[in-house]
A = this chain, B = another copy of it.
């Protein structure tokens, strides 16, 4: 930091990408020329619409500090691109920009270029070859699809949140698991091995136990049951497998509503669709007739870095 020539060279050479999701915020410091990762950091949840502004700034600063500290230097990044869940045009984008600005000030950074995106943009940019146009589908706690043109999402389908949509998401699977157990209990549905982990989770297998558990906290935490559905299906439980099939159907319907063009890129990510994700095979099978071959990426972080490099 003492020699201004070295400092300038260091500054020209670095970018920061941020992927601020519903579960955590991740930041990556990278070499602008090569894209090589120099450092990474993690912070708390980063949904621009639901996380309070001060908390959002704090989580961003946490992630940024981790990235620049492990990068072995100061915060001399020339360009920063951040993708936020809930960060689309409108209230979300303004809040995201304000929080990002505050976090950058807090860590003493002053990049020349800052850009805020929704999470769909950075997820799509993580696709092979950093495509500019195509489709993206994110399925984690929530679920949303988008058509991207010129590196920006131009049309969204679903992403309507746990109460109204997020069809095929982790929350959706968790809620449907509880409903399946309730229906087995009152005879409206078949018996299911899901009753075993649900009983453990709820402290009992009566309707009162299940209902009390479900209404005990924020509904979106029902997403924590989705791994139980995956496990039960893997163990041969037909109702659990049927839930995964229905989730796959819902996600494919979201893709179909985007009016896909055969052969165009379809980038998928999120806990359910990342490489090895529990719904990936089902989605691949369901969108093949549409002429689409999903490319699964771990998250939007490398996409945010790619977009930051493109800014220079």
Chain A residues proximal to chain B, CB less than 8 Å:
90-91, 155-158, 160-161, 163-165, 175, 178-179, 182, 186-188, 207-208, 210-211, 214-215, 219, 253-254, 257, 259
Contact = CB atoms under 8 A, between A and B. Distances in A.
A160 B188 contact: no
A156 B211 CA distance: 14
B179 A164 contact: yes
B219 A187 contact: no
Given A160-B182, A164-B179, 18 more contacts: A91-B208, A157-B186, A157-B187, A160-B179, A160-B207, A160-B211, A161-B211, A161-B214, A163-B214, A163-B219, A164-B175, A164-B210, A164-B211, A165-B179, A165-B182, A187-B257, A187-B259, A188-B253
A257 B184 CA distance: 11
A90 B155 CA distance: 50
A219 to B, nearest CB: 6
Copies in the complex: 2
A161 B213 CA distance: 12
Given A175-B163, A208-B91, A156 B186 contact: yes
Contacts of A211: 160-161, 164
B158 A186 contact: yes
B208 A164 contact: no
Nearest to A208: B90
Given A188-B254, A257-B187, A182 B208 contact: no
Contacts of A219: 163
A192 to B, nearest CB: 15
A170 to B, nearest CB: 16
Contact of A207 (B156, B208, B259): B156
Most chain B beta-carbon contacts within 10 A, residue among A163, A219, A253? A163
A186 B143 CA distance: 14
A165 B161 CA distance: 18
In the A-B complex, the 8 residue pairs with the closest CB atoms: A188-B257, A157-B186, A187-B257, A160-B182, A164-B214, A164-B179, A164-B178, A163-B214
A259 to B, nearest CB: 8
Contacts of A175: 163-164
Contacts of A91: 208
A157 B207 CA distance: 10
A155 B188 CA distance: 12
A163 B177 CA distance: 12
A266 to B, nearest CB: 17
A89 to B, nearest CB: 9
